[in-house]
Every structure is written in C-alpha cells, then in structure tokens.
A and B are shown apart, each in its own frame.
Chain A
Amino acid sequence: VKRLALPMALGVLGALDLAACGGAPPPAAPARAAGEGRFGRPQVAPLRYDGAPQNVPSVDAPFRVSAPALGTDVAPDAPKVDSFSLANGLRILVVERHGFPMVAARLAIATSAALENDVGGRRASLLGGVFLSPFEGVVQTSGGCDVTGCFVASRGLSGELPQVLSRVADLAVNPRPDAGVYEQRLAASARVFDASQSPARVTLNALLFGRTHRYGGPSPVSVPTLAELETLRDRAFVPAASTLMVVGDTTLEEVRAHVDSRLAGWTGPTPGPDPRPPEAPREGPRLVFWVSGAIVQVWGQVAARGPAPRDRDFPAVVVLSTLLGGKIDSAIFHHVREDMGAAYTLGSSIDHYADASILAIGGSFDRDQAVDGMRAVLAAIAAARDAEPSADDLARAKAAVLAEYRSAASTDEGLATLLAEGTLVGLGPQIVQERAALVASVTAADVRAAARRYLAPGALRAVLTGKLDYAPELQSLGLGNPVVIDLARYKAQQPP
C-alpha cells in the first residue's frame, strides 16, 4: 500500500565495487582491529549449513493420498444494484455492502462522442492528464482518460461519503486548466516509446486497426493547445454522458442526499450519438520487429482483433484467452515456461473497447529461445482452432475466469470499476449479475468456433522487441517478412 515502488530487489551488474566504478573513491574505511567488521563492530559470522538433517521425516497418512472434494461455489453472489438519475441526465448506481466501513465512488464519463475519432486515444490521454490527474498519487482519489472514456474515482471511510463525493464532483465539474501540468503531460506523451514494452503495445494496435483508427495509431496528429483542450473538456465532461458508481458501507438514501447537493447543478450539452469507428483494414504488415539494445530479454506478442464486449461471442473469447494463457495452469504456460524454460512471464490478455477487443498472447522470452517460444504460442493457437478443448480444460478455464471476476468484485473499488467498465463498453451495470451465467453457458464448441473466427492465420499479427541477432529466423513464424525498425533511430526521427 505504500506508494514508492522502489524496485528493491533489483540489482546492479555484479557486485557494485565503488572503487572500480571510476570517479573519486569512497572514504577509506577506518583501520579495524582483528575480529572487527568494516564498521568497527564485531564481525557477524555468516550462517553456516552443514546439510545435516535436523528434523524427523514426515510420516505419510491415508488422507494425504488424494485431494479432498472440491467446492462448487466458484461464482460469488451477484450484487444488488440500485439506480436513479438526476434531472441533468447523470445516472447513479449504488451497491450497498455493509461488511467493512469504507465506500468507493467512481464516475465514468463516455467521451468518444465528444472526442470523435481520437486516434490512439491521444487527445483523451491528454485530457485526463491535464484535468483529472492533479490528485495522482493520493490514495483516495485518481482520474484519467483513455480511448473508451474518462473516470474519476475516490474512496474513504464510510463516514466520509460527503468528502468522497465532493472530491469526485470537484474534479469532474470544475476541472481547472494548469499550463504547467499541460506542458508536463505533453512532454510525457512524447516519450511513449521510452518504456521497453511500449513499442510492442503501440505497434500491435496499429497492425490490427491501422494508423488512423480510433484504436490504432500512432499517427502524427496535431496536438491540441490548452485552450482547445478546455473546449474538449466542456464538450466531454457532461452529466448526460456520465454514470456515478457508489459501492460500500452506505445506503441509497444517503447517496441520494449527498449526490443531489453536489452534482445536481452540473450542466452541459447532451452528447450526440457515438460515432462508429471506421472499418479497420485487414491488409498491411503482419510482423514487426523493433530492434532495441536497451533490453536483454525479448518481448513478443501475438494478437488478433476480437469482438466487442457486447457481442455474443465475447464470453467464449474470454474463455479462449484463459485456455491459451490466461492462468498458470494453461497448457501453453506449462510448455513454454516449465518444459522449455523459455519465458518467466507468459500470458494472454484481452483489451476491450466499446466496439472491438484485442486478444494478445505472449511474454518476455529468453533471447535464445524467443523464436521457439513464439512458435510454440502460434502452435497453441492453431491447436485451439483445430480441436475443441477437453471438458476438464474447459471447466478449469471457466472457473479461472470466474475467479478473476470474484477477486475483482471482492473490494468496493473493484466492483465499482467493473460497473464502470460495463457502462463504458455498452454492457450496462447488469453485467455484474449476468457474467457468471454467460461464462457458464460457454461450450467447447463455442470456444473452438471463436478460435476459428478470430484467430484465423490471416488475422494474426505479431510484434517483438529485442536485439537483432536472430531477425532472419522470424520468417519461419509464417507471418511473412518482418518489418524491422530500429527503435533508437525511430525515436530520433519523431516530431516533438
């Protein structure tokens, strides 16, 4: 919970010998007497192990031979969601949970209508960075925007509901411009390629949706001025496009009273219809290799476009993703990690937007086994197309999907986030009630059909980031000739 995520386990290249690193040497250690340590205290003897057994071997017992019976209550009870609306169009969802004296509030703002075709979500990112992030780093309050919408979240003790709602209202209703913050965010957005994983993430979206699509990019777009951002803010942050989630130790009546006094005066234009994004192209390169000398491992991802969250195929795609690598018991995880020793982290994920999703599988590979690891991932995808999963594999994958949902819904903030996501992608708040049944209804045939529909060979795209040593081998992946881009040169050529 503490905030400074110092990578304390992380080390240097070998022992850090200060005297050998150049520059002025550190002060000489004081002369020490025999038996004294470097710091003038008695030297501590290192622990010694002689390997001699100190204990008595454990004795086996019949009840240890086989596993006890499993429970069947994998899915949590669906929460009861109450709702009401204000005259200005703001919708409020309330879930009462009185087990722990805390409350979480989350305001979701659908902004795609106001931002139109916001390529790569860059304007949204700036909008959130400039107007909704002044409290970044405070445990109670956060905010931001991406291509699916904006959010403001806050939480506190249950007795602090008025303050929690005030913090949300203050950010959403009175977002103030700050030229300094604007400049900082602009500078940060120009450094999108500095993180070692960023090139792969950005490129996958571009390969799957094109460079001018809302979910694609990156594309050289004109950067809005602060004044233009203010105009966008006035158009986007409106009550009629917003839903407020309140979850925790409170009551519907209490929420109603406090919301009314803080948000009933919020006004703004009614947003127009959400423009559908243009059809994404299916042609273009399928394999990109970013040459980067900055990382030792190789980041590799295989991805494909998936259905929108409200599509009837979506639950099957979620289960498919879990089967392929969403959890540590997946076959591909075991094969690539435990059998090959080729990747410490390997998994699958689904990024979902309002009108589409991305299913990605990959991880951080040992550089000597990266191509073999990617080949194994592609083979697992092919196997998913070719045959239905076994009943046991399917049952585990479905249980794992529900476990993830249960875990997310176990905290007030987690449940508020699930409700907000459901609202922004068009599933509605009822998704928290329907999810378990939707997952349970997925059949082995559904999963195979989803694999054939969304993971067809021609639909797959892949991106790798690493050193160039083995680029020629990439042709053997069957994704065509790789487009090879030198990351350092690319960054140097980017406009500010």
Chain B
Amino acid sequence: LEVGLLHRNIGGCAAAVGFVAAVASAPAYAGDRVLPSLPVVRYELGNGLKVLLAPDPSLIDVSVVVHYDVGSADDPPGKNGLAHLVEHLMFDGSRHVAPGDYSRWIARAGGANVNGMTRVDDTNYFVTVPPASLPLIFWLESDRMAFLADRVSSQSINTEVQLISDETRDRVYDRRTGMLASMGRLNLFPREHPYHRDATAVDLMFCGLDDVRAFLRTWYSPSNATIAVAGRFDVAATRSLIDQYFGDLPASPPPQRPALPARWRVHDVRIDAGAGIPSDVVTFMWATPALGQADDAALDLAAEILADPQGRLQHDLVAAGLAVSVDAKEMSSPRASTFAIMAALADGAAPDAVVARIERAVSDLAAGVRLEECKRAQDEAFDRQMLRLEGSLGRATALVETPTAAASWNLGEYDAFGPAQVAAAVRADLVPDRRVVVVMHHDPQYPGRGVVLKTQARLP
C-alpha cells in the first residue's frame, strides 16, 4: 500500500525529547478535560533501534508497528517506486521465513490489521495479535529487518512490480478524482522538494536485485527504525524479547538528507479538469508549515472550524444550495503540510460561485475567529485524538508518528491555541501565493480520475 502526504492525526509541537529509558504518565490537563493515564516506556538499543512501549492491561490485544524512516521521497533518481517495491517484498519471506509463510504465521496466531504502508516520508508495518503471540511478531519482524535480502529474487521482484502496477491502476486510475493529489503535489512543491511527486511516474522496470539490496543496506537497519508496542503485554518480558531479537543486529546509520527550502512561492494556479464523477468538485490546496512548526496545529483548528457541520462552509455552501458536502483538513507531514478545502457541488451550482464563496470564507476566517467556534474545534480535535487512542493499533501508530511528543500523547495541545492564533495562521498561510485551485467538472466522457482541460494563472 502506498499513500501520500497524509501523515498523522495528532500534530506534534512538543520539543524534541531524547530517547532515554523513562516511564511517564500523562499529566492531568489544566482545563476541564479528564485525560487517560497512558504510560509510555522509551529507550534505545545500542544499535540505534528506538523502542516505544505503551502497556495497557485493559486492552484485549497488542499491536506492533515497525517504522522505517524512509519513504518514497527517498527513491533514488530514476528508480521511482523502489521504496514501495521493498515494502511489498517484505511480505515475501526472509531467511528463516519461507515465501508465503509470513501471512500463514500471522493467520495462525490470530493476527489482524496486517499491512504495510509506504508514505512519502516513511514506511510502516502493522499487526495486531493476541498478547501471547508477541514473540512470534518479533521473530518475524527481526528476520525481515536483517535477512530480507536472502529471499529477494528477480522472480519475486517481477511479481511485485506487476502487483504494484495493478495497485496503481486501482488506487489512481480507477479512483474518482484520482489525479487531484498529484495536481496538488506538482503545483504546490518545487521540483527540488521531495513532495514534488507524481504517483504514476513509476520506474520499477528499471529496478533490479542490486537496487533492492542497496536500498535495504542503506535504510532497513535498526539504526533507522522505531518499534512501537501498545496494548496488553508485560513490559519486562517484552523488553527482554526485543533485546533478544533485535539487540544483536548491527548498527548502520542512514545517510543524511539534504536541507530543503523553508518557503517558496506557489503560482496560484487554477486547473480545470473533466471527470466522470457524480458532480463538480472544487478543491483548494495550500502548502503550509510542516508538522510541529508554528501554525500547523492552529491550521488543524482552522480546518475544524471551516468543516464544522454547523459552521461557515456548511452555511455558505451547503445550506445555500451550492454544495452537497464540504470538508477541510490540514494534512500534516514532516517536511511540509497541505491544507485543503473540498466542496462537492449541488446540481446546477456554478463552480465559479463556489470558488468565490470559499475565498470569502477563508478571508472571513483570517479577519477573525469567534471564541465559541474555536472551542468547538478544540473539542472536536480532542475527541479525534481520544478516539485514535482507544485501540492498541491507534496508540502504536501514534507513537511512531509522534515519537517526540511528551508523555501526554499531545492530548490537549490544541487548547493552547485561541481565536487570535487561528486567525493569524490563516492570514499567514492560506494566502494566494501558497495555493492551487482545482475545479473538476462532471463530464461522463472522461474517466473518473479526470483529465486536465485547462490551466491558468489566477494572479497577475
């Protein structure tokens, strides 16, 4: 599975915390929220493997996420898709796990939620099992971390290349508005930026055994990985197992990534496309500050306010009969975020009128945010965080995605942002020279993913 920029749901604005052995409990929130006590044990093995343990005996299962700090943005030049290919190969067996046996072992153990996910910045492997099967998971994960290359062959590469082609057709060509994301990436980020990517530009036919082995040597090592365990398990026994299965793997520091531009100009492009979709869709996208940078969390609240079913866009677009649905979101990622507003138009509604209404709604938000709508947004954001932390998989995922968060799991972080900060973030970041507008026109003669008809500059 390869997905894109959408990175995490719990924003992180806490200062970096070193990986040291520690046990901490979530402190009580100063306001009226009752926070759960979710202790986290953090430490690092001698080979650099970072370990995050969140035990909770009240849960009925345990989830493990192994996170590698490498994603599709690290594909070498001319080898687009290599990170994704390696993710697929991770399920094809390793030195002590025969081809096909990984999934058989997981099934036999009563595993659920088994998957891998390649994103632009990282690659994660998930599984949820009954507590007694934790040793099996460490055995499987350590074997493919250390000995995957033993099983990779030209044949397995060819099969997975074919399947990735199928996946791309499924997830891009045959999906409604499948071109939206690349339109955003290619126009919001400069060519020098790793997010300037076209998901369909895959060079896997040029990837061979040597490429896969070099990629594994470079990135798939304990020094570049984090393992998170959340749910019902014994901490001491689990530490012992992790030491046993991962402790003797050799360290291999990954290469340093080049620095990126902090800010650049986006040329306020409007793209009109034809698509075989049920109704016209208008999408605004802005390049916004990266996860954890100033304004990122405030923009989360701005999105909540705009998308509130009793809020501004609902009133201006849906209640006014111009749209059947609206949504807004700040998609936070480590190297840059994307803020998006999307409206599915009602029959007969003019796209230009919707574009104008959205521009006005953003402008109004920049002018001022009401205290009650900010409070609603804070409550909504908090509820989302809590929902995510209810199950073991959500917690394990949150841990690897927010490794530097304080022991509070960032719960309550949004309460630090008031109406003034939200409005200021909108004024600073949701500006014309950071955006692209895509209007997809309903037209059955085109495929659902859409075909670009026209592009035009919106600003002189």
Q: Which residues of A contact B (CB under 8 A)?
A: 1-4, 6-16, 18, 21-27, 37-41, 43-49, 51-61, 63-77, 97-102, 134-140, 155-159, 180, 184, 187-188, 191, 194-196, 293-297, 327-329, 334, 337-339, 341-345, 364-366, 395-397, 399-400, 402-404, 406-407, 409-412, 488, 491
Contacts and interface: CB of A to CB of B under 8 A. Distances in A.
A100 B388 CA distance: 12
B186 A16 contact: yes
B155 to A, nearest CB: 10
Nearest to B176: A195
B316 interface: no
B159 A341 contact: yes
Nearest to A37: B192
A65 B272 CA distance: 58
A380 to B, nearest CB: 16
B269 interface: yes
B181 A7 contact: yes
22 contacts: A1-B384, A4-B303, A4-B340, A6-B340, A8-B338, A9-B2, A10-B180, A11-B181, A21-B454, A23-B272, A49-B214, A65-B96, A137-B327, A138-B309, A184-B346, A187-B346, A328-B106, A366-B165, A403-B112, A406-B60, A407-B113, A410-B391
A39 B193 CA distance: 11
Contacts of A297: 166, 169-170, 173-174
B174 A295 contact: yes
Contacts of B18: none
Contacts of A136: 309, 325
Given A26-B267, A54-B218, A11 B166 contact: no
A67 B6 contact: no
Contact of A102 (B146, B181, B210, B386): B386
Nearest to A184: B324
A9 B1 CA distance: 10
Nearest to B91: A328
Task: In the A-B complex, list the 4 residue pairs whose CB atoms are closest, starting with the nearest.
Answer: A71-B132, A99-B58, A55-B252, A8-B4
Given A194-B276, A196-B448, A327-B103, A15 B258 contact: no
Q: Which has the most chain B C-beta neighbours within 10 Å: A58, A100, A187, A338?
A: A58
Contact of A64 (B96, B129, B251, B452): B96
A154 to B, nearest CB: 11
Interface string B166-180: 111111111111111
Nearest to B10: A1
B292 interface: no
A364 B174 contact: yes
Nearest to A401: B110
A292 B261 CA distance: 45
A8 B3 CA distance: 7
B221 A100 contact: no
A9 B163 contact: no
Nearest to A197: B174
A61 to B, nearest CB: 7
Contacts of B248: 58-59, 61
Contacts of B167: 344
Contacts of B447: 293-295
Contacts of B146: 58
A366 B166 CA distance: 6
A496 to B, nearest CB: 11
A176 to B, nearest CB: 14
Looking at chain B's contact residues, the main secondary structure is mixed
Given A1-B384, A12-B179, A407-B113, A338 B159 contact: yes
Given A10-B181, A196-B448, A364 B166 contact: yes
A11 B198 contact: yes
B86 to A, nearest CB: 13
A43 B261 CA distance: 9
Nearest to B262: A41
Contacts of B391: 410-411
A357 to B, nearest CB: 22
Contacts of A134: 309
Contacts of A65: 96
B389 interface: yes
Given A9-B4, A47-B76, A407-B113, A400 B329 contact: no
B187 interface: yes
Nearest to A22: B454
Nearest to A397: B107
A70 B131 CA distance: 10
B27 interface: no
Contacts of B128: 403, 407, 410
B250 A57 contact: yes
Nearest to B7: A8
B153 interface: no
B43 interface: no
B22 interface: no
Contacts of A344: 163-164, 166-167, 170
Contacts of B242: none
B136 interface: yes
A14 B251 CA distance: 39
Given A13-B200, A296-B173, A364-B170, A56 B252 contact: yes
B453 A294 contact: no
Contacts of A4: 303, 307, 327-329, 331, 340, 342
B278 to A, nearest CB: 4
